[in-house]
Amino acid sequence: MDVRRRWRLVTSGAAMAGIVLCAGGSVAANVLLAARVQIAMTDPRTCDVTTSIALGLDRAGDIEQRVQRLEGSRVELLGISGAHQTAPPRAIGLTDAYLFGFAGAGNARYEVRYRATQPDEWAYRCPVWLPTVAADGHSRNVDIEVTLPSDAEPAGGSFPAFQWHGTTGRATLGNLPAFVRLPYAVPGQSGAPMHDVGRIMELAAIALVVTGMTVWVIRRRR
């Protein structure tokens, strides 16, 4: 894959973060109250994810959900509870977009389970389910827990930064990231290879995501 194409794919994560951040300006009464993301890496290319989300809604209706699907990736929706899907998924850029319906205003809690499979070039990367509703800019109510295979060791360079206890990593954030990156090594196998150019681009995309979230927090606090 050439550099330009790879850059377009990597920065889709930053674009997704922008979608969520901008949602707060147009639907200010809807807010992400809390989220818990549990990710199990079954191998470098596959992750099983359970995401529990709490929203504060100003009315009944549909809320769009996004999940990043890069070229060659596959995302399989395994189950939904607490909400109902109101339309078939559709591709928007490098994401799959879903519409979930909610019965009324107030606090809504729902859970999504899915499996993501990546091509070799995007190994050690797992997309995160995103409602297009921004966080409040103050709280740190997003908990992410990741589990690596039992014989794996974290290889460094994860995004976001996790606190590791054996093969389990945890992070607490102020908003949901578009993806996590979880390089790891298994004894006797080569671990988490990445070409220099690819790593620079991935770090640049991460910087865009972080910058966008920082700008949003500043605007919310004014």
Q: Identify the top-confidence range among 86-100, 190-204, 205-219.
A: 86-100
Q: Which of 91, 48, 88, 50 is nearest to 70 (CA)?
A: 91
As a whole number of angstroms, the distance between CA 101 and CA 63 comes to 6
Backbone CA torsion sign across 55, 27, 97, 37: negative
| 3: pLDDT strictly greater than 60 | no
Report CA-CA distances (Å) from 70 to 11, 18, 86, 94, 175.
11, 17, 24, 6, 21
Q: CA–CA separation, 164 vs 148, rounded Å?
A: 10
82 vs 210, residue with greater confidence = 82
pLDDT of residue 191: 55
Which 3 state secondary structure label does DSSP give 216?
helix
What is 17-67 written as a DSSP string? HHHHHHHHHH-TT-EEEEEEEEEEEEETTEEEEEEEEEEEESSSEEEEEEE
Hey, which CATH number is domain 3-221, 3.40.50, 1.10.8, 1.10.260, 2.60.40?
A: 2.60.40
Q: 31 pairs with which residues across the strands?
A: 56
pLDDT digits (tens, 9 = 90+) for 126-175: 999 999 998 887 889 999 999 999 999 999 889 999 999 999 999 999 99
**Mean pLDDT, residues 101-128:** 96
Mind listing the pLDDT tens digit for each residue in 162-192? 999 999 999 999 999 999 999 999 987 765 5
Averaged confidence pLDDT in the chain = 82
Q: Which two tokens stand for residue 82?
A: 């607490």
Query: Up-side HSE of residue 113: CA atoms within 13 Å toward CB?
Result: 6
- Whole-angstrom Cα distance, residue 84 to residue 68? 20
Identity of the residue numbered 60: A
Q: Is 103 helix (H, G, I), strand (E, B) or coil?
A: coil
Q: In the predicted model, is pLDDT for residue 47 greater than 50?
A: yes
pTM of the model: 0.78
